[in-house]
Amino acid sequence: MSTVLPTDIEAPDIKVAKPGVGKRLLRNPSVLIGAALLLLIALMGLLAPKLSAIDPAEIDPSNRNKVPGYESTVRDDDGNKIQRVAVMGTDSLGRDIYTRVVWGARVSLTIGLAVATLSVAIGLFIGLVAGYFRALDGVLMRIMDGLMAVPAILVAIALVSLSGASLLTVIIAVAIPEIPRVVRLVRSIVLSIREEPYVEAAISVGTPAYLLLWRHVLPNTIAPLIVQATFIAGAAILLEAALSFLGVGIPPEIPTWGNIMAEGRSVFQILPHNIMYPAAFLTVTVLAINMLGDGLRDTLDPRMAKRV
């Protein structure tokens, strides 16, 4: 062969850089709308004491089952008369629904965030182990299959009867059935990434397994996991509402959207606002989370978006 070697030392060509992930996210309308709505609802939950002067647990037997816009006069501790408007009406114990809806945002968002974090963290760990260490794969995945078959409501009832109704119980009950889904996702990614030549190259330069997983495998799971986490958060908020509605969730004195709806169930036909208002907020929240998730998937993981 008579080809001449590249005698000059070559420098890489610097290609025109694509706009960064941050910029692309800001250009995606569903990310923007979803994030904005979610931010509003989070602010609402944070500022709940400022948005309503009424105690969400305050019972007012004289003003039960009032329609939205009902005006009443109450006396405060000093005996002064205060004019109150029940913007969203009151429930059958006379509690102000607007106040309870605003406070309910706290519980819902906490649950969404906590369940997503918990199930992703545990699922990621099990998924990495199951995908990489083939000997453990069979055992772990059969356990996950078993977990997946247990309905969340059943887990919740069991946990509530064991340890009493509380926010933590609900978070655990909702997170457990989500874990296998995360495990399956992570495992499938690990299975394909471990066949990549750069992983094999890392094996042959003697990189220990934990570093290999941390450096070469884990970063590939981040984008799909962020997306998956948003969907888990949405589903968790819905499931919490369902559990509270059925009376196996959070204790009824704590305002959650599910609890408010459960309370309004008996008078739904006469006074639909008891259910309509919390339901509207629930819908908007879950919709915002799902929009955010869709947008994130389109930007972070274009291949996955095409497949769906």
Interacting positions 182-201 with another protein (CB under 8 A): 196-198, 200-201
In the bound state with another protein, the residue whose beta carbon lies nearer, of 79 and 198, is 198
Interacting positions 217-246 with another protein (CB under 8 A): 219
Distance in Å, CB of 298 to another protein, minimum: 18
- Is the separation of the CB atoms in 90 and 96 below 8 Å? yes
- Is the separation of the CB atoms in 171 and 239 below 8 Å? no
- 46 half-sphere exposure, CB direction, 13 A CA radius: 6
With 0-12 / 13-18 / 19 or more C-beta atoms within 10 angstroms meaning exposed / middle / buried, residue 183 is buried
What tokens appear for 285 in the block?
């929240």
Under the binding rule (CB under 8 A), the answer on residue 206 touching another protein is yes
Q: Name residues whose C-beta falls within 8 Å of residue 193's C-beta, 6 or more positions apart in sequence.
A: 199, 216, 217, 220
In the bound state with another protein, the residue whose beta carbon lies nearer, of 171 and 193, is 193
Cα 247 → chain centroid: 21
Which of 202, 228, 217 has its CA nearest to residue 125? 217
- Is the separation of the CB atoms in 123 and 180 below 8 Å? yes
Distance in Å, CB of 209 to another protein, minimum: 9
Distance in Å, CB of 193 to another protein, minimum: 10
Distance in Å, CB of 299 to another protein, minimum: 17
Query: How many residues bind another protein, per CB under 8 A?
Result: 31
Letters for 137-176 (x = contact with another protein by CB under 8 A, - = none) are ----------------------------------------
In the bound state with another protein, the residue whose beta carbon lies nearer, of 71 and 200, is 200
In the bound state with another protein, the residue whose beta carbon lies nearer, of 113 and 203, is 203
- Is the separation of the CB atoms in 291 and 230 below 8 Å? no
DSSP lists the bridge partners of residue 82 as: 74
Of 12-20, 91-99, 122-130, 156-164, the segment contacting another protein by CB under 8 A is 12-20
Residues near another protein, by CB under 8 A: 1-3, 5-16, 196-198, 200-208, 211, 215-216, 219
